[in-house]
Homo-oligomer: A and B are copies of this chain.
Amino acid sequence: MNSEKNRHEEAGAPDDLRLEKFLPYRLSVLSNRVSNAIAQAYGERFELTIPAWRVMAILGRFPDLSAADLVEQTAMDKVAISRAVSALFRNDYITRSEDPADRRRQVLNLSPLGRDVYERIVPLAQYYENDLMASLSAEERKQLDSIIEKLMDRAQAWAERGLID
């Protein structure tokens, strides 16, 4: 005598999918919340979009990269990088110089102004990250690190081979 009430079907119905428990969904909500909050902080204080900030974060550590190098490092696509770079250049946050060895290539670097901003943003970013991490124990942080690594690999595999089959 089926005592489940308020449900759509009787026998034969598939197991339902509980969206609140569905990992892809949860990841998406979490990531959006975090990104939006931080984007707002960057945007308000330095007029930086997230892609632009990422470019700066990389250039801050690794000078003399080209746009193509950035593509490699950031998992962002060509176009996004190109736009971020243009915007940063317009704001005088980075310099572009032509590579004499290959005249298509542009060598990118933080400008003094850019480095200045970089040095002020890094602590801000770290502050946010710490604040997030503060809700976890040291143990959990390690676990999270390794779990993300594993999930990333699996998802990466999807992208490479054409998903399922």
Task: Report the minimal beta-carbon distance from A149 to chain B, rounded to whole angstroms.
Answer: 9
Looking at the complex, which of A30-38, A87-95, A99-107 is the stretch in contact with chain B? A30-38
Option from B16, B119, B136, B140 in Cβ contact (under 8 Å) with A14: B119
A151 in contact with B136 (CB, 8 Å): yes
Task: Report the minimal beta-carbon distance from A125 to chain B, rounded to whole angstroms.
Answer: 6
User: How many copies of this chain?
Assistant: 2
Interface flags for A11-55 (1: CB within 8 Å of B; 0: not) read 001111111001111111111111111101100000000100010
Give Cα A131 to B9, complex, Å: 27
Given A31-B31, A38-B24, are A125 and B155 neighbors across the interface (CB < 8 Å)?
Answer: no
Option from B9, B14, B22, B155 in Cβ contact (under 8 Å) with A123: B14
- A73 contacts chain B at the CB level, 8 A cutoff: yes
B126 in contact with A15 (CB, 8 Å): yes
Nearest-neighbor residue (CB-CB) of A130 within chain B:
B23
Give Cα A157 to B148, complex, Å: 23
Interface residues on A, range: 35 or more
Q: Dominant SS at the A interface?
A: helix
Give Cα A125 to B58, complex, Å: 35
Interface flags for A103-139 (1: CB within 8 Å of B; 0: not) read 0000000100001000100110111110111111000
- A68 contacts chain B at the CB level, 8 A cutoff: no
B143 in contact with A147 (CB, 8 Å): yes
Give Cα A8 to B109, complex, Å: 10
Give Cα A60 to B60, complex, Å: 49
7 CB < 8 A contacts A-B: A8-B115, A16-B122, A26-B152, A33-B155, A131-B164, A135-B151, A144-B147
